[in-house]
Every structure is written in C-alpha cells, then in structure tokens.
Structure 1
C-alpha cells in the first residue's frame, strides 16, 4: 500500500523493505529486544512509525492509496513545518505519513523564532494534488 516490498529476510528475526529498487529503506529486526521485557498485552512496544515523502504530490498519492484501500484516518494536521496524516496499521500501531515544507516556508514569530502549529489539514486540497 505504501510502496514497499520485502527485499531480504533473515529467518524470523529480520527483514528489509525497500521501494523503487533500493535495497532497503526500512530494516526490521528483533536482535536488540532478545531477552527484553515484553510489552503489555495488546501492545507492540512501538508508539508509531513515520514515513517522510519527498513532496506534497507524493504524500497526496500515498493518502489516496490509503483511502482507496478503505483505511480510516485517525487525523490530519498542518504543523506549519510539515503536513501529516495519521492512521493505524493492521496491528493497531500508529503510522504517520508526512512531508516537510521547505525551510523558507516555515512559520516564524516576530523575533524570527520557529512557530510550530497544530492546525487541521485540508485533506481535500491535499488529495487534489495526487494527479
């Protein structure tokens, strides 16, 4: 759905996922958690994962695929420096899909300090850029 394919497996302990022919963008493994205290029932021990898209159009295309697959969004936010949509994976882990705005477009206060915001994202306007 997000464009990744498994490129390599190491038994049941690790897997690499890549997109666009790249050997791996994501490496998943259980090596560091071997012998660790397990998370509580119903939890994986992961708060959320975030996937950065290179531009607004690519984020819009990913969002369109998510919605076409019938996945419900948990939320969508404009943070001033970035735009993000939030959803759940099949194991109920939080997933963030986002894109950063160019630094020159980041909101700043009168002193020039970064001014983060948490405003609603216009999802319809974002989707209009998917083509």
Structure 2
C-alpha cells in the first residue's frame, strides 16, 4: 500500500484493555501498588482505572478470561503495556515502592531516549514503567534518526532522585 497518509502528531494511545483471570488480584496490582484510581466498575467483571481525571487509561476485565491461565510467552499477543511517568523522580518513587513491596522486576533499562523498569502483572502481562528524557537529549545517528539502545539502568543512580 502506498504511504499517502501520516497519522496526526497529536494522536496518542488512549487506553489499553487487558483480559485478566482475577479482577481483584489485578486491582491489587494496578490500583493498590501502582496507584491508579478506579473510575468505574462493571459489577465484578470489569474495572476502568485512570491516572488523574481521565475516563480510563487501563480497562481490566474477566469477560473471556476469568480463572484462566496467563497467555503463553511464546505466542502472539501484547508484549507489554508502557506507562509514562512525567519525571525521573516519579519513576524513582514508583521503583522504590516496588522495591519496598518486594515486587519482582523482569528488567531495568536505559534506552537513551528513556529509562524504564519492567515487570509482569499478576496475569503475566508485561508492564513497563518509564520516563522520557527531554527530546533535545535523545541520542541521534549522523543521519538524524534516533540512536536508541538497551543498556542496564543504574538503579542506584535512579534512587538518588529521592534519596538526595
């Protein structure tokens, strides 16, 4: 197909809707640990959660998945949901919260354009928590394209954002 259309630069991913096996267990992770607010419930089958006053950033439902096991890692599906924090300090605060709760990480990376910590939610859905560096600091190749990479994130340095 000929590329004759470019999505408007203001377009955003508005929300993600996740199938979960146990709604209360999912809420314990997204609401109680990560701090999202419940904006509405659909009985005991679904919850919409938000950061701030948006109608929902994440939908959680058991409509087709109640009691079922996690999707296999080696298959088609969602790799992870990425949650963008406004500052590096905000990322440090949630990382400290995860550490205090002994919540297991699956990774922590510096991508040049961003820094991120990774984990799985209780249903095995990948979750990335990250902040973007200012655009003027994003690494570029000689042709002007982004020079993203994956390096280990210095978590001790990240903690200096809140430890002083």
Q: Same fold (TM over 0.5)?
A: yes
Q: What is the match of residue 159 of structure 2?
A: 127
- SS of alignment partner, residue 8 of structure 1: strand
- SS of alignment partner, residue 108 of structure 2: strand
TM-score by length of 1: 0.80
Q: What is the match of residue 120 of structure 2?
A: 88
Q: What is the match of residue 78 of structure 1?
A: 110
Tell me by how many angstroms 1:25 deviates.
Answer: 2.9
TM-score by length of 2: 0.65
User: Which stretches in structure 2 are left out of the alignment for 5+ residues?
Assistant: 1-32
| Paired residue total | 125
Alpha-carbon RMSD across the aligned residues, in angstroms, is: 2.5
Q: Deviations over 1:72-108 (max 9, x none)?
A: 2111111111111111212222111001111100001
Structure with a larger share of its residues in helix: 2
User: Which stretches in structure 1 are left out of the alignment for 5+ residues?
Assistant: 34-39
Counterparts in 2 of 1:1-131, with a 5 A limit?
A: 1-20=33-52, 22-29=54-61, 42-43=70-71, 45-130=77-162
Q: 1:27 to 1:90 in 2, by over 3 A?
A: closer
Q: 1:71 to 1:29 in 2, by over 3 A?
A: closer
- Contact 2:69 2:123 survives alignment (8 Å): no
1 or 2 for the larger relative contact order (CA 8 Å, sep ≥6)? 1
